[in-house]
Amino acid sequence: MSVIYEPRGKAREYSPLALNVYTGCSHMCKYCYAPSCLQKTRDAYFRKPEPRKGVIENLKKELAKSRPTEQVLLSFIGDPYCEASDDNAVTRQALEVLLENKVPVAVLTKGGARCLKDLDLFKAYVEHIQVGATLTFDNNPDSTEWEAGAASPLERMDTLRTLHREGIRTFASFEPVVVPEQSLELMQRGLDCIITYKIGKINNYQGIDKTINWAEFLKQALDMLRPAGKQIYIKHDLRKAASSVRLYGNEVLPDEHNAA
């Protein structure tokens, strides 16, 4: 099986290609789909993450045969900057190999400032990389309850601010949306440092999605982001749940906002 693969379903909305470098994650998010996807218990999945065996060697072999021109995202299974046993060395190695082969990359993390150890590599990609954070809660108590091992909301936002200041293209994933008011607050806070906003909802978790007026949430988000000139992608599930809200073409095309 190739280590670079084409995601399916909802994941495909974030990137045409992906690469997973760890076998688990340390962030312990309540809503995480990965344990069931991998047929693991939560305890097994959220142990100290280890690098995937042979991932760098296999990546080199694949790229020697064929170099993709589409964006590769790190990562859907696990987090490239989780609290891993190798201090994220395998993430850096993967980035080095992809850079050497001129493959465009996106990085999505809840690890906050951990990603800044690779700022020199991000800069070397120039415009062929974008680095993003998942933003969910605007306060530490809620964040700790739902994402016990992830960086705090303040650290994630400060990291995006640092990346933006250093000339790195930034994005934020607003998914899941658990408390709409908090997601909107985070959107507001990020206006000075987030280039692209990717917005979804929460699906099939404790019935929370049935209690939210998604059309009103989406309308408020667009009223904020459109005048600010932000790049926006509205995920399919939110579009369906808020079907009365009119969207523009570039707000429903996922690959419009990829690194190239």
Q: Where are the domains of the chain?
A: 4-257
The residue ranges of DSSP E strands in the chain, in sequence order, are 4-5, 17-19, 72-74, 105-109, 129-134, 169-174, 196-199, 231-234
Q: What is the pLDDT of residues 157-215, one digit of tens each?
A: 999 999 999 999 999 999 999 999 999 999 999 999 999 999 999 998 899 999 999 99
The answer to whether 198 and 173 are in contact (CB under 8 A) is yes
Q: What is the pLDDT of residues 87-129, one digit of tens each?
A: 999 999 999 999 999 999 999 999 999 999 999 999 999 999 9
CATH, range 4-257: 3.20.20.70
**pTM to 2 decimal places:** 0.95
Cβ-in-10-Å burial (0-12, 13-18, 19+) of 122 comes to buried
